[in-house]
């Protein structure tokens, strides 16, 4: 990896690990200090690496600097001398020495931190936002995009969530077996949002951010590696991620433009990931649990069959119908109308899509532009232009402009 891209990549993969370990070591009360030390570590890398060169082992360098900064910070901090030291009952040298940044402790700390953040005393959206910030390295802009909100609202929400963790005296540890199901919903939603931000990013001029997809899969694997959380819905989520990740190599062309599903070269699809996804979906089918992830993973499996057949799209349509009954969402309803067009034709799909009224959504207009393409060119053009105006990334705009340029002449 080239130097300019290395630090952002490491920030995405290592910031959350350092933060989780430090926060577990010093307690949830000092969550901002853990974030500050992790941030200062990367700031020093940005200041020194361009001039002194990248260390032979950059990850190890980050860990050593983080440990030293923790030692130095608490050595001079009034908070350490008067509040933390009596509790920890060891000196500042031990503070750094005892910080365990081994692979196992990082994994344990992140999993425990994830469940601590998803404590039932904290509102659901605040749980997810805080987890995205601390464990996934999301910036405030990215979290605001994920929640279709603004930075000020997100900052206030995260502040209240941190205060709630303190007042509830939440301990960073795995919850009791009986508590896991009620916290798991927020944990899985967090990982689902993280994956989606990578698979179809709206916060940067890169329509695909593969490192976010890989991070979501890594964190989901932590759940699968723990016997208490290796549950059907977790396997279903991993299956969903595998199926979508299998198509990542085919989703961009040589110029970085988005390649839509129907135009993808299936020879570029990763068959190993498709097989892994099928295995996880098989495991998920054991028992009586049916979650949104089961249904979405099965829809994604049908999309690993490139050939258009009545059986394929009829099954996808029925799965969307069940998904909307189980957990309605405008996005799922919009996706259903595409499957409906494949089964019952564009005219019927247009009627159903327009009932949704998602006029501020670029995908709504992009879909209607496609559905109107062979029915009413003027309507198709209006919707595609609306989608172009609402879209946030340059690759997405490029794809929409190509669709506009290739509309049939009237």
Tell me the three state secondary structure of residue 146: helix
Whole-number Å distance between alpha carbons of 393 and 389 = 11
Whole-number Å distance between alpha carbons of 136 and 233 = 21
Give the up-direction half-sphere exposure of residue 367: CA atoms within 13 A in the CB hemisphere: 28
Q: Tell me the average pLDDT across 262-279.
A: 95
Rg (CA), the chain: 23
pLDDT at position 200 is 74
Among 41-45, 96-100, 158-162, 209-213, whose mean pLDDT is lowest? 96-100
CA geometry: angle 116, 123, 220, nearest 5 deg:
45
CATH code matching the domain that covers 307-410, chosen among 2.130.10.30, 1.25.40.10, 2.60.120.260, 3.40.50.1980: 1.25.40.10
Residue 61 pLDDT > 50: yes
Residue 383: burial class (beta carbons within 10 Å; 0-12, 13-18, 19+):
buried
Among 179-193, 205-219, 242-256, whose mean pLDDT is lowest? 205-219
Give the distance between the most distant pair of CA atoms in the chain: 80
pTM of the model as a whole: 0.82
Among 46-50, 139-143, 316-320, whose mean pLDDT is lowest? 139-143
């Amino acid at each position: 990896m080239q130097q300019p891209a290395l630090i952002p990549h490491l920030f995405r993969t290592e910031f959350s690990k350092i933060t989780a370990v430090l926060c577990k070591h010093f307690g949830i009360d000092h969550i901002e200090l853990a974030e500050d030390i992790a941030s200062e570590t990367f700031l020093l890398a940005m200041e020194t690496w361009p001039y002194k060169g990248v260390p032979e082992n950059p990850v190890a360098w980050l860990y050593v600097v983080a440990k030293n900064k923790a030692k130095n910070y608490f050595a001079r901090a009034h908070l350490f001398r008067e509040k933390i030291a009596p509790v920890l009952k060891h000196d500042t040298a031990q503070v750094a020495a005892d910080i365990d940044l081994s692979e196992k402790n990082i994994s344990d700390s992140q999993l425990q931190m994830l469940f601590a953040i998803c404590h039932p005393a904290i509102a659901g959206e605040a749980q997810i936002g805080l987890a995205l910030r601390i464990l996934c390295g999301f910036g405030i802009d990215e979290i605001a995009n994920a929640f279709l909100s603004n930075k000020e609202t997100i900052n206030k929400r995260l502040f209240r969530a941190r205060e709630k963790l303190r007042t509830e005296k939440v301990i960073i540890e795995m919850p009791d077996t009986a508590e896991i199901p009620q916290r798991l919903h927020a944990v899985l939603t967090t990982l689902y949002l993280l994956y989606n931000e990578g698979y179809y990013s709206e916060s940067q001029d890169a329509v695909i951010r593969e490192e976010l997809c890989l991070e979501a899969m890594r964190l989901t694997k932590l759940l699968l590696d723990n016997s208490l959380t290796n549950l059907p819905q977790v396997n279903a989520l991993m299956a969903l991620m595998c199926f979508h990740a299998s198509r990542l190599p085919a989703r961009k062309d040589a110029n970085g433009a988005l390649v839509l599903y129907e135009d993808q070269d299936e020879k570029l699809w990763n068959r190993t990931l498709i097989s892994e996804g099928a295995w996880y979906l098989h495991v998920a089918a054991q028992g009586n649990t049916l979650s949104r992830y089961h249904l979405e993973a099965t829809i994604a499996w049908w999309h690993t069959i490139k050939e258009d057949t009545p059986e394929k799209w009829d099954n996808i349509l029925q799965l969307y119908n069940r998904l909307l009954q189980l957990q309605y969402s405008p996005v799922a309803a919009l996706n259903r109308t595409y499957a409906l067009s494949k089964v019952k034709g564009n005219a019927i799909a247009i009627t159903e899509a327009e009932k949704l009224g998602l006029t501020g959504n670029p995908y709504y207009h992009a879909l209607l532009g496609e559905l109107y393409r062979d029915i009413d060119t003027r309507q198709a053009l209006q919707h595609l232009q609306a989608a172009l105006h609402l879209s946030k990334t340059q690759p997405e705009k490029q794809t929409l402009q190509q669709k506009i340029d290739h509309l049939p002449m009237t």
